[in-house]
Amino acid sequence: MPTRISFANLEVFLTVVRSPTISQAAEKLNIAQPALSQQLRLLERRLGVTLLERDARPYRLTEAGRLLKDEAERLLADFYELVERLQGVSTGKRGRLRIGFTRSAMYGVLPSAVRAFTESRGDVELQLHEILTEDQPEALRTSVIDLGIGRDPSASPQIAQEVLLRESLVVAVPLGHPLVKQGRVPLRALEGEAFILFPKGESANFPARVTALCREAGFVPNVVHQAFEIDSALGLVAAGLGVTVVTAGLAAHGRSDVRFLPLDGLPVGATTELVALTVQGTRRPLVEAMLAQLRSTPPQSS
């Protein structure tokens, strides 16, 4: 049957062995010396060993006493470190936070928020994973990530959404394209243009939104290419293979081989939203801390 010894017993023992005399240890512990001696004898009985050579002046530790001293110091140090870590996790100052993000988030608030977060919470292990918006809800439900940052996500069971940023849409065209002279471009003026959509995938939300806006403007986009990511789409535009619709945040970072033009004639509220995704009712302190940072961080600018 295991012997019942508390951390308090170990702390009393260590106070004794760190003091020149038992009477001085009793003073530090604010108890009477006879009571302290009784506690030490009780500890020895529970352990079934002698810890102190009391006949020596000053007293000396037995071999068992020296072993207990070393192990008690290690155990208590580990315990107090654990307490500190637990308190840090509960307050969002320590632990691990896994964030899934869509690539376009890197042209919005995410880089600045991550930098500020890591500067203020250096003990937090931050892991970032690029995940398509439509795949983030399942990654949250299966605990692959703790927080998702997506673009125009669809409603999903058990997933809460919070809009972080609303952005207008612009069109990217090749250098020398006739539309460059117009400055602002009516969406309807893109009818007949070769469209490049991204990201590629049957369930991708952003290209579906662009297609829906074109239909509202009275035409079906002539999609000639579908790219897996933003950079590929812009590369195809630079090659003169078509035009693509992107967020104003991405346009603010610019590219020298394409032109970004504001769009006119969009329906009221035709913006794109960068959204934080979490599992309903299970927000951890670290998730709350990152959300607070995201809310307070202005978008990046060029």
Residue 205 in this model has a pLDDT that exceeds 90: no
d(CA 215, CA 241): 22
Read off the pLDDT of residues 67-96 as tens digits, 9 standing for 90 and up.
Answer: 999 999 999 888 887 877 777 766 666 788
Give backbone dihedrals phi and psi of 220, rounded to 5 degrees, phi first.
-100, 125
Question: Residue 249: its pLDDT value, please?
Answer: 85
Q: What is the DSSP letter of 243?
A: B
What pLDDT does 128 receive?
A: 97
Other C-beta atoms closer than 10 Å to the C-beta of 35 total: 10
Per-residue pLDDT, 1: 45
Q: What is the pLDDT of residue 199?
A: 82
Strand partners, 245: 171
pLDDT tens, residue by residue, 18-74: 888 888 888 989 999 899 999 999 999 999 999 988 876 777 899 999 999 999 999
Which has the higher per-residue pLDDT, 90 or 116?
116
Mean local confidence (pLDDT), 120-146: 92
pLDDT of residue 91: 65
Structure confidence at residue 284 as a pLDDT band (50, 70, 90)? confident
pLDDT at 59: 79
* CA distance linking residue 80 with residue 273, whole number of Å: 45
pLDDT reading at 202 higher than 60: no
Q: Sorting pLDDT into bands at 50, 70 and 90, what band is 266?
A: confident
- Determine the average pLDDT of the residues in 185-209: 86
> For 175-183, what is the mean pLDDT?
91
- Average pLDDT of the chain to the nearest whole number: 88
Confidence of residue 302 (pLDDT cuts 50, 70, 90): very low
Look at phi and psi of residue 252 and say left if phi exceeds 0, alpha if psi is from -120 to 50, else beta: alpha
What does the DSSP assignment read for 161-204?
A: EEEEEEE-EEEEEETT-GGGGGSSEEGGGGTTSEEEE-S-STT-
* Rounded alpha-carbon distances, angstroms, from residue 41 to 44, 53, 76, 212: 5, 12, 21, 82
Q: pLDDT value at position 269? A: 72
Residue 204 has pLDDT above 90, yes or no: no
Report whether pLDDT(270) > 90. no
Q: Return the biggest CA–CA distance within the chain.
A: 102
CA 172 – CA 243 distance, rounded (Å): 6
- What is the pLDDT, as a whole number, of residue 179? 94
The model's pLDDT over 240-262, given as tens digits with 9 standing for 90+, comes to: 999 999 988 888 777 889 999 99
CB 165 within 8 A of CB 149: no
Range 227-250 average pLDDT? 92
- Burial degree of 234 (CB within 10 A; 0-12, 13-18, 19+): buried
Domains of the chain: 7-90 (1.10.10.10), 95-165+273-296 (3.40.190.10), 169-270 (3.40.190.10)
